[in-house]
Structure 1
Amino acid sequence: MGSNTQAKSKEVTVLLTNFIFISLISFYLIFLVLAFFDSSSLRTHFRPFTRVLRRIWPFVTQKMLRDVKALNG
């Protein structure tokens, strides 16, 4: 009787783990499809930040380069 309970418990654990794994993989696949196949909702969501990033990007990369050089000697 104890062995049967353990087998059921293990089966439920495996099913729950598989469900969570499949759910996460599905979520990531949907995100990849939206991100890489030019979804209009993502395009309009990130558009306000592109102008800002274009302005600050050279300063960010210069600062990072300076910090890396300072760390290396």
Structure 2
Amino acid sequence: MKVVIIGSGNVATHIAKALVAVDISIAQIWSYHYQNAISLASDINAIPIRDLSEIDLDADICFISVKDDEIANVISEL
């Protein structure tokens, strides 16, 4: 299963770590703040990405975990 997480805040971090704890690997992490994506990705052995255009759209699941007022912006960029 290929999982992508968009966001790197508290909720995204808990989702990522919970999935990894049950042996579900995360393929990619994106964040508005690339350093945050790098940090979370290194914790869970994922690939940090700089731009939403790099998201693997063939992923089985894509968790969008950003501020509510940013969800529409993120979706429009996918």
TM-score (norm 2): 0.21
Q: Which one has the largest radius of gyration?
A: 1
TM-score (norm 1): 0.22
Higher RCO (CA 8 Å, separation ≥ 6 residues): 2
Higher normalized strand content (fraction of residues): 2
